[in-house]
Amino acid sequence: MPLPLPLDGLAAVVTGAGRGLGRAEALELARLGASVVVNDFGQAGRDGSGQASAGPAEEVAAEIREAGGKAVAHTGDVADHEQARGLVGFAVETYGKLDVLVNNAGILRDRMVFSMSEDEWDSVVRVHLKGHFNTIRFASAHWRARSKEAGGPVYGRIVNTSSEAFLAGSAGQPNYAAAKGGIVGLTTSTALALAKYGVTANAICPRARTRMTSDVFAGFAEPAPGELDPLAPEHVAPLVGYLASPAARRVNGQVLVVHGGMVAVVERPRVAVQFDAPAGLFDFRDLDEAMSPYFAGRPRGETFAAAELLGLRRGTG
C-alpha cells in the first residue's frame, strides 16, 4: 500500500498560478497530494495590461488533473477585496476547507523614482501588497472561525512571495521593492497574530527565470538541451511544498531566499553600531563627530556591497 503523501487531505490556493513560479508551485502542491485552486487573473502583460483570460488558470488546473491530481481554476483579481473574498469562499465551497494559501500574484511597472507616475506606484503596490493582504484577510478569518469551533488550533499555512529587491534595493523598481518589503512586514505580523490558531506564515525570496524576470536574467546562460535551468521555477517549488506541510510546523515568521538548489534563512535586522550622547542629549557637533567617521570608513556602504554580493540590479522574484 503506498505511503500517504505529505499534503494528502489538504486544500490549497495558489495565486498567480497560471504561469512561472505560481504554476510550478501549484504543480508541486498537487504532486504532494493537495487539492489545489489555481488562481490567475490571466492578463497577458507582465505589467498587468491586456484582457483578463481564464486560459492560464484553466490550463494549469487541467494539467494537474491529467496527472491524476485534484484542481479547479479561479480567475478572480486578488487585488480586488471582494474577489479575494470570493476566492477563499470558492476554495472552502469546493473542498470543504482551506489549509494552505500561497500568494504569488504580481506585476511589474518599472521606472526610476524621479520618473515614476502615481499609477505606476499604485498599481504595483495594489497587486503585490494589497493582493497578499486581501487573501490573508479572508483565509485568516476562516482559520480563526474553525479554531473557535474546534476549541483549539487548526491547520493553516501561508507562504508569501517577497524578493531580494527588498533586501538589497532595486534602483529601477521603487514600487516593487517597497511592496516586497511590505509583504515581509505583513508576513511577520501575520505569523504572530495567527500562531495561537495553529497557522504559520513565511515569506520566500525566489530567484527564477520567469516572464516577470526575463530581462533581469537576459545575460545568464541558458541551460544545455536536457539540462535543468539553475534558474528554473522548479528549484523554488519544493520549498513551498515543504512550508505548506506538517513537517514545517515550527517554521514561522521566517524569510527565506531560494534558488538553484540553495535555501538561505535571513536573519532579522541587527544593530550594527550604537552611538550614545556624551551629555545625554545629542547636538549637531556630537553627531558629526560620532557618525561621520563611522560612515566614511565603510566602503561604499553595506547596502551597495550586499547588492553586489547577491549579483542584483533589479528584483528577482
DSSP string, the chain: -PPPPTTTT-EEEETTTTSHHHHHHHHHHHHTT-EEEEE----SSTTS-S---SHHHHHHHHHHHHTT-EEEEE---TTSHHHHHHHHHHHHHHHSS--EEE----------TTT--HHHHHHHHIIIIIHHHHHHHHHHHHHHHHHHHHTS---EEEEEE--HHHHH--TT-HHHHHHHHHHHHHHHHHHHHHGGGTEEEEEEEE---SGGGTTTTTTSPPPPTTSPPTT-GGGTHHHHHHHTSGGGTT--S-EEEEETTEEEEEPPP--------TTSS--HHHHHHHHHHHHHTSSS-HHHHHHHHHT-SS---
User: Measuring CA to CA, which residue among 89, 188, 183, 184 is closest to residue 145?
Assistant: 89
Question: Domain for residue 215, yes or no?
Answer: yes
Whole-number pLDDT of residue 287: 95
The per-residue pLDDT of the chain, averaged, comes to: 88
155 catalytically annotated: no
pLDDT at 232 over 90: no
Say if 147 falls within a structural domain: yes
Percent of the chain scored above 90 by pLDDT? Answer: 70
pLDDT band at 307 (very low <50, low <70, confident <90, very high): very low
Distance CA 68, CA 202 (A): 29
Residue-level length of the chain? 317
User: Which CATH number characterizes residue 259's domain?
Assistant: 3.40.50.720
Question: Do 22 and 104 touch, CB atoms closer than 8 A?
Answer: yes
Q: Is 15 part of any domain?
A: yes
CB 203 within 8 A of CB 187: yes
- Give yes or no for a contact between 133 and 186, defined as CB atoms under 8 angstroms apart: yes
Question: Which one of 123, 162, 170, 180 is the catalytic residue?
Answer: 180
User: If pLDDT is split at 50, 70 and 90, which confidence band does 257 have?
Assistant: very high
Quick one: 212 exposed, middle or buried, by C-beta within 10 A (0-12, 13-18, 19+)? buried
Quickly count: other Cβ atoms within 10 Å of residue 101's Cβ.
29
pLDDT at residue 300 tops 70:
no
| Residue 106, phi-psi category: left (phi > 0), alpha (psi -120 to 50), beta (remainder) | beta
Q: How many percent of the chain have pLDDT more than 70?
A: 83
Task: Evaluate if residue 218 carries a pLDDT over 60.
Answer: no
| CA distance linking residue 137 with residue 304, whole number of Å | 35
Q: Decide if pLDDT at 313 tops 60.
A: no
Confidence class for position 308, pLDDT limits 50, 70, 90: very low
Among 32-41, 86-95, 306-315, the range scoring the smallest mean pLDDT is: 306-315
Residue 208 has pLDDT above 70, yes or no: no
- Cα(179)–Cα(317) distance, rounded to whole angstroms? 12
- Measure the N-to-C terminal CA separation of the chain; round to a whole number of Å: 40
Does residue 283 belong to any structural domain of this protein? no
Q: For residue 180, indicate whether it is catalytic.
A: yes
pLDDT, average across residues 80-87 = 98
What pLDDT sits at residue 229? 66
Candidate from 152-156, 226-230, 284-288 with smallest mean pLDDT: 226-230
- The answer to whether residues 170 and 176 touch, using CB atoms and an 8 Å cutoff, is yes
The answer as to whether 82 is a domain residue is yes
Q: 5 lies in a domain?
A: no
Q: Does residue 163 fall inside a structural domain?
A: yes
Range of the domain at 206: 11-266
Number of domains in the chain: 1
**C-alpha distance from residue 181 to each of 48, 151, 195 (Å):** 20, 35, 21
Predicted confidence at residue 43, as pLDDT, reads 62
Query: Which of these is catalytic: 163, 170, 197, 245?
Result: 163
130 catalytic per annotation: no
In a domain, residue 22? The reply is: yes
Give the C-alpha separation, 217 to 222, whole Å: 9
Lowest mean pLDDT across 30-39, 53-62, 156-165, 187-196 = 53-62
Query: Tell me, what's the pLDDT at 259?
Result: 87
Choosing from 95, 155, 176, 197, which is the catalytic residue? 176
